[in-house]
Amino acid sequence: MFREQAVSWALPREVTDTAELLLSELMTNAYRHAKAPADRQIWARATLSEGKLLRVQVTDASTTLPVPRTAAPEEESGRGLALVVLLADAWGAEAREAGVGKTVWFELGSTS
């Protein structure tokens, strides 16, 4: 779905590819680490501002904010947030103002 939306926005291929990778990492982190009741859902949202700034958000029911870490060479996981830090123009995480959980987001300029 994200790729279809990116095409409709005429985002450059490299921005779309990077955003898709980072969205996948955030969704995977939410699925693997957000310890919440089974009836809670994970949501993703992408918006494009008039200034062509792409913002992608992933919301889950966990209140634990993510912290980047350095994975050891032999570890098979633990690099997702490091990719977000490295490839996004900006990123962050905050508790949801109205509701349960948190939102983790990143931004990419559409000409990146």
88: nearest Cα among 60, 50, 54: 54
Q: 15-46 burial by CB neighbour count: b if 16+ within 10 A, else e?
A: bbebbeebbebbbebbeeebebeeeeebeeeb
The partner residues of 46 in beta bridges, in order of sequence, read 56
pLDDT tens digits in sequence order for the chain, 112 residues long: 899 999 999 999 999 999 999 999 999 999 888 776 677 789 999 999 988 899 999 999 888 899 887 877 887 777 789 999 999 999 999 999 887 899 999 999 976 4
Q: CATH number, domain at 47?
A: 3.30.565.10
Residue 72, pLDDT score: 77
Question: What is the CB neighbour count within 10 angstroms for residue 74?
Answer: 5
Q: Take residue 46 and report the two structure tokens written for it.
A: 């992408």
The domain in which residue 48 lies consists of: 2-109
Residue 36, pLDDT score: 67
Give the number of domains in the chain.
1
